[in-house]
Amino acid sequence: MYLGVIGYPIKHSVSPAMHNAALKRAGIEGIYLAFEVKPEMLEKAVAGAKALGFTGLNVTIPFKEEVVKFVRLEGHAAKLKAVNTVDLREMVGYNTDVYGAKASFSDVDVDGKVALVVGAGGAGKATSLALMELGATVILTNRTEHRGLEAVEMLRKYGECMFYPYTRVEELKGKIDILVNATPIGMRGFEQKLPVPEDILQPEMVVFDTVYNPLETPLIKKAKKMGCKVIYGIEMLIHQGAKAFEIWTGAKPDVNLMREAALEALKKQFITQP
């Protein structure tokens, strides 16, 4: 079975490590590879992978929205108009990021809670939809207001969701149960700071940082110090991968093994690229 991930850039992806470990453990003969695809080559890359007999592809930045033109959308992909997993046999697009975000909150009672989601890109929309489906009211904020408003317009069809201006989020102090960072702030190579004013953090909050490289972002470190429950971005990554694996192979992968493989791959990157 041939599987892969396409993106631009792609060299830091830990998906090959995660999926190849899962294939081996499941006794499935196959390989998962990463391909850097120039943005203008997306359609040819998808058609080429299908022609070569690939079973499926993960699709990452900057293709998640562009690829919807070439596939039939299922479930969450249809709701968000964004795809991260393609089944090339049927040309169906799925969004397993939503599943991954939901699974990340598996030991948190989200129902009836208020969540502040920072970021209106792919990760922001996926985590917002996940939290809304789990019963939370989502307050979405975004640096560029019109993008935030557009995201809320789409999301509010599926649950409670409203926009709050990014420059005024400190006004939400004391009103939030869950905080999600869905921006690249804290990611290796990006600004190392908190995505919201420090004052917002309260010990009883649950803090989820979708950034997983590094695992311990400034937000995670600060939240831990405050006594908040923290959820690591790697959980969403592993669970979106596990769901994609299930779609392609029909088998449930060993999630703990996928976690170990992803952590190992991240550690290697850290050693070779400080």
**Where does this chain bind ligand NAP (CB under 6 A)?**
61, 97, 100, 119-124, 142-144, 147, 182-185, 187, 191, 210-212, 233, 236-237, 240
Find all residues with CB under 8 Å of 3, minimum gap 6, and list them: 19, 23, 30, 31, 32, 33, 54, 55, 56, 57, 58, 248
The verdict on whether 50 is a catalytic residue reads no
Q: How far is the CB of 166 from ligand NAP (least distance, A)?
A: 7
Q: How far is the CB of 212 from ligand NAP (least distance, A)?
A: 5
Q: How far is the CB of 30 from ligand NAP (least distance, A)?
A: 22
Q: How far is the CB of 233 from ligand NAP (least distance, A)?
A: 4
In the chain, which residue ranges form alpha helices assigned H by DSSP?
15-26, 42-51, 75-80, 96-104, 122-133, 145-155, 218-226, 233-249, 255-272
Closer Cβ to ligand NAP, 14 or 136, answer by number: 14
Closer Cβ to ligand NAP, 75 or 184, answer by number: 184
Q: How far is the CB of 237 from ligand NAP (least distance, A)?
A: 4
**Angle, to 10 degrees, between the axis of helix 233-249 and the axis of helix 15-26?**
50
Yes or no: say if 31 and 2 are a contact pair by the CB < 8 Å rule: yes
Closer Cβ to ligand NAP, 119 or 218, answer by number: 119
Q: How far is the CB of 93 from ligand NAP (least distance, A)?
A: 16
**Nearest-CB residue to ligand NAP?**
121
Closer Cβ to ligand NAP, 50 or 65, answer by number: 65
Q: Is the dihedral of CA 169, 171, 172, 174 positive or negative?
A: positive
**Angle, to 10 degrees, between the axis of helix 233-249 and the axis of helix 255-272?**
120
Closer Cβ to ligand NAP, 122 or 253, answer by number: 122
Residue tagged active-site, from 24, 38, 50, 64: 64
Closer Cβ to ligand NAP, 14 or 227, answer by number: 14
∠ CA 156-157-163, rounded to 5°: 10
Q: How far apart are CA 124 and CA 151, in angstroms?
A: 9
- Per 3-state DSSP, what percentage of the chain is helix, strand, and coil (rounded to 5)? 45, 20, 35
Does residue 159 come out as left (phi exceeding 0), alpha (psi in the -120 to 50 range) or beta?
left
Per DSSP bridges, beta strands 137-141 and 72-73 are unpaired
Catalytic annotation, residues: 64
